[in-house]
Structure 1
C-alpha cells in the first residue's frame, strides 16, 4: 500500500502494559466513528499492514490498540512513534461545510502582487496558528493561514488567494 492510497489518523505514542497494548494520539476528527479492521503503520517510506484485535477511544484524541501478533511489550516497542494510516476507502466524505484550513494541502497559492506562488505541500500547526508550506522559486516558504492574509478560497478549483505582507517572500529568497 502506498502513502497516497491512505490517510493519516494519528501516531503511536507509547506502549501500555506488558501485553503489547499501544497508546496512540489520534488527531483525525471523527476517527471514533470510523469502522475498520486493519491499519497501516509507516516504517520508513513503506506502510506495513496490521490487523486490529481491539481499538478503543476512551477519551478524545487517545486510543488504546491491540494488534494481532503483537502480544508482548518487546514486539510493541518498535512500533512507538510510527504514524497510523487507514486505506482511503475508510475516509469519510466531507461536506463543503466541513472544510477547514487543514484541507488546503494541494491547493495553489495566488498572491495579489506576485501572482501564482506554487502548491501547498504541507500544513503545519504552530502554537499561534497554522502555516502553509509552499515551494516558491526553489525555496520553502511558510505562509501564515490567518484572516489578515487570506483574501479568498476557491474550493472547487483548489486555489487559495492571499495578500502577503510586504517583504515576507524576500525573507526566504535572500
Structure 2
C-alpha cells in the first residue's frame, strides 16, 4: 500500500496504560463515519498495516485504540508521533453539494485590492481556522479562510475571491 492510495487520518499522540493502548488524534473531520477495522501507520516512509482489536472514539477528535500484536507499552511507544492512514476505498461518500475549505487547493486566489495572488498550493487546518498558502511575487503568502475574508467561490472556474485584511500581503512582500 502506498501513501498515494490512502488518505491521511491523523497521528498517534500518546500511549495509555501498560497494555499497548494508543491515542490517535484525528485531522480528518468525519472520523466517526469511518470503518476502522484496520489502519496503516507510516513507519520509515512505508505504510504498515495494523488490525484494530478495539477502539473508542471521543468527540474531541481523538480515539483510543488497541491494535493486534501491540500488547505492551514498549511496542506502543514505538508508534508515537507516527501518521495514520486509511485506503482511499474507505473514504466516506460525499454529497454532491458538500464543499470544504480543503477543496480550494488548486483554485486561483484573487484579492479585491491586490488582484491575482496565485494558485492555492495548500490548505492548512489549524484548531481555530483554515489557512490558504499561495506563492505571490516569489514569496509564500498565507491568509485565513473564513466568512470575513471570502467574497465568493466559483467552483466551475476554480476561482476564490477574497478581501484580505489591510497590510497582510505587505507583511510577506516587504523587504526585511
Q: What is residue 103 of structure 2 aligned with on the other side? A: 103
Task: Answer whether contact 1:5 1:87 (CA < 8 A) is retained.
Answer: yes
Q: What is residue 124 of structure 1 aligned with on the other side? A: 125
After superposition, the C-alpha distances for 1:57-91 in whole angstroms (9 at most, x for unaligned) are 2x212212122221111111011122211111111
Q: What is residue 52 of structure 1 aligned with on the other side? A: 52
- The TM-score, its normalising length taken from structure 1, stands at 0.82
5 Å-filtered alignment, 1:77-156, equals 77-112=77-112, 113-125=114-126, 127=128, 129-156=129-156
Task: Answer whether contact 2:10 2:85 (CA < 8 A) is retained.
Answer: yes
> Is there any run of 5+ residues in structure 2 with no aligned partner, and where?
none
5 Å-filtered alignment, 1:10-49, equals 10-43=10-43, 45-49=45-49
Post-superposition, which runs of at least 4 consecutive aligned residues in structure 1 deviate over 4 A? none
Task: Report the secondary structure of 2:123's partner residue.
Answer: strand
> Is there any run of 5+ residues in structure 1 with no aligned partner, and where?
none
Task: Report the secondary structure of 2:147's partner residue.
Answer: coil
Task: Answer whether contact 2:120 2:132 (CA < 8 A) is retained.
Answer: no
State how far apart, in whole Å, the 2-side matches of 1:86 and 1:122 are.
20
Instruction: Please tell me the root mean square deviation across aligned C-alpha atoms, in Å.
Output: 2.3
Q: How many residues align?
A: 172
Task: Answer whether contact 1:39 1:86 (CA < 8 A) is retained.
Answer: yes
State how far apart, in whole Å, the 1-side matches of 2:43 and 2:156 are.
34
After superposition, the C-alpha distances for 1:18-49 in whole angstroms (9 at most, x for unaligned) are 11111122242332222243211233544332
Task: Report the secondary structure of 1:93's partner residue.
Answer: coil
Instruction: Sort the Cα spacing of 1:21 and 1:165 in 2 relative to 1 into closer, same or farther, 3 A.
Output: closer
Task: Answer whether contact 1:109 1:120 (CA < 8 A) is retained.
Answer: no
